[in-house]
């Protein structure tokens, strides 16, 4: 299997794992405060990441890696979850999807700035079309959005796109699971401290489905998903693999249909088919990342024997 194909497979697995976050979050917030849920998932994942780093005796990152890790931490561990949680106080989840549909484009732009990639013109056509389809579909489903919620979601998309691109760049040196683990550990004092300040007044009303959902978003959405996602971006190219995120809202809605008995319309299926075509087109015209990338033995350096796929 060539490096690019392996990257796209890893990226797809990451997106598939992330897609379960929406249904799991919907179940969890029925019994758990959204702010506490956001902080708890980051804290639990941070403790697991710390345990993994200690167990495998990973070297501490170089001093030059601390700023990029801080960017990853602020972008994907704190920034995106917090800003989206605040935004969802002003807009609906359907409206938020129209902004999430812009995330692949934001990631690709930061991939050019931070990762040194140069996709061809056709890539931007497919990327822009896919983002427009997802955003347009969500906008038609959700109606007009609050200006405050819109600004918060734009900030969330920018923060997450930067965190994705910076993490992918770091993954070429440190490895995917190490990057997200160090980023989680770096933010742990903040997330754990705020979590303790926002503990629920009572735990009796939290049912088993909510606890299982919290476990999913903590273990899979905040840790395991990023292991595959950062590896995919590093191997297959940030700009190209990031387009797989266009499928995430639809995977999430399909999982919601299975788990929560929500309706899936024919229009949703039709848009999804076209979006898949856009992802395929973006893959076809995305160039190889410039600079150093993982290959051969170097690609597997970031995966200890215990956690290689």
Residue 305 covered by a domain: no
User: Is pLDDT above 70 for 260?
Assistant: no
Residue 302 covered by a domain: no
Residue 58 covered by a domain: yes
φ and ψ at residue 19, rounded to 5 degrees? -65, -25
pLDDT at 292: 41
Q: Which residues contact 124 (CB under 8 A, 6 or more apart)?
A: none
pLDDT at 302: 43
User: Is pLDDT above 80 for 232?
Assistant: yes
Residue 309 covered by a domain: no
> Which of 19-23, 50-54, 107-111 shows the highest mean pLDDT?
50-54
Select the more confidently predicted residue: 211 or 84. Answer: 211
pLDDT at 98: 65
26 lies in which domain range?
A: 3-290
CA atoms lying within 13 Å on the CB side of residue 229: 30
pLDDT at 3: 82
Residue 114 covered by a domain: yes
- Rounded to an integer, the average pLDDT of 39-57 is 94
Select the more confidently predicted residue: 38 or 296. Answer: 38
The proportion of the chain whose per-residue pLDDT surpasses 70, expressed as a percent, equals 78
pLDDT at 194: 93
Across 37-46, 47-56, 98-107, least confident range: 98-107
Residue 125 covered by a domain: yes
pLDDT at 93: 63
User: Is pLDDT above 50 for 181?
Assistant: yes
The rounded mean pLDDT for the chain is: 79
Residues in the chain: 309
Residue 300 covered by a domain: no
User: Is pLDDT above 70 for 44?
Assistant: yes
- What dihedral angle (degrees, nearest 10) is formed by the CA atoms of 45, 249, 156, 144? -140
φ and ψ at residue 207, rounded to 5 degrees? -85, 175
pLDDT at 309: 41
The proportion of the chain whose per-residue pLDDT surpasses 90, expressed as a percent, equals 27
**Count of domains observed in the chain:** 1
User: Is pLDDT above 60 for 289?
Assistant: no
Please give the Cα distance from 238 to 4 (Å, whole number): 11
Helices (H), 261-295: 266-285
> Which of 128-142, 217-231, 290-304 shows the highest mean pLDDT?
217-231
């Amino acid at each position: 299997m060539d490096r690019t194909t392996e990257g796209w497979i890893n990226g797809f697995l990451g997106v598939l794992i992330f897609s379960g976050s929406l249904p799991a979050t919907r179940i969890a917030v029925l019994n758990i405060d959204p702010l506490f849920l956001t902080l708890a998932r980051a804290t639990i994942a941070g403790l697991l990441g710390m345990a993994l780093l200690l167990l495998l005796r990973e070297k501490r990152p170089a001093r030059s890696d601390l700023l990029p890790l801080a960017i990853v931490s602020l972008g994907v561990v704190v920034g995106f979850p917090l800003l989206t949680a605040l935004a969802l106080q002003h807009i609906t989840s359907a409206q938020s999807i129209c902004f999430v549909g812009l995330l692949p484009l934001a990631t690709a732009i930061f991939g050019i700035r931070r990762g040194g990639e140069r996709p061809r013109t056709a890539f931007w056509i497919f990327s822009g079309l896919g983002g427009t389809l997802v955003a347009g579909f969500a906008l038609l489903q959700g109606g007009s959005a609050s200006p405050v919620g819109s600004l918060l979601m734009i900030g969330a998309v920018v923060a997450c796109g930067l965190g994705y691109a910076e993490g992918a760049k770091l993954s070429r040196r440190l490895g995917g699971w190490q990057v997200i683990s160090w980023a989680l550990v770096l933010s742990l004092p903040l997330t754990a401290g705020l979590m303790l300040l926002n503990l629920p007044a009572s735990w009796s009303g939290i049912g088993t489905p909510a606890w299982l959902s919290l476990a999913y978003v903590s273990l899979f959405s905040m840790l395991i998903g990023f292991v595959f996602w950062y590896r995919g971006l590093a191997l297959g190219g940030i700009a190209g693999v990031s387009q797989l995120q266009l499928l995430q809202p639809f995977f999430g809605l399909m999982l919601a249909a299975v788990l929560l008995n929500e309706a899936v319309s024919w229009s949703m299926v039709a848009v999804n088919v076209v979006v898949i075509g856009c992802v395929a087109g973006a893959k076809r015209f995305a160039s190889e990342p410039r600079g150093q990338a993982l290959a051969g033995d170097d690609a597997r350096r970031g995966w200890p024997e215990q956690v290689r796929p």
